[in-house]
Amino acid sequence: LLQLVESGGGSVQSGGSLRLSCAASGTTTYSSYYMGWFRQVPGKEREGVAHIDSDGSTTYVDSVKGRFTISRDNLKNTLYLQMNNLKPEDTAMYYCVADWPPYGGTWSRKEEYNAWGQGTQVTVSS
């Protein structure tokens, strides 16, 4: 059974940086998974932040383009999200997600994903 465990969240001031990690266990086929990051603010829907295919192709929500970078290390079964120039509106719980075949068509739909981590909190103060 696939397990995803996030780490790296915390509190930073506006303009600061954080690097989130997501360690995957319980699988031998991690490299074939599509992976991503979602975030959620209380009272709002979960929002797709970034996505990376098995071949390394990446996609981002417009609000983080140029500031966030998603990457993966298939040897370590680990997903990353480098977040630079953080803004107060980036404050949220961040979740790691995984998708395996058959793949759906829309990376930003939370229903596309088969597994979720427990989340890590990111708080950005102005």
pLDDT tens across the length of the chain (126 residues): 999 999 999 999 999 999 999 999 999 999 999 999 999 999 999 999 999 999 999 999 999 999 999 999 999 999 999 999 999 999 999 999 999 888 877 999 999 999 999 999 999 999
Q: How far is CA 13 from CA 6, 26, 77, 120, in A?
A: 21, 36, 30, 17
> What pLDDT score was predicted for residue 60?
98
> What pLDDT score was predicted for residue 41?
98
Distance CA 121, CA 79 (A): 16
Cα first-last separation, the chain: 40
Which of these, 37, 101, 120, lies nearest to 72 by C-alpha position?
37
> What pLDDT score was predicted for residue 116?
98
> What pLDDT score was predicted for residue 105?
77
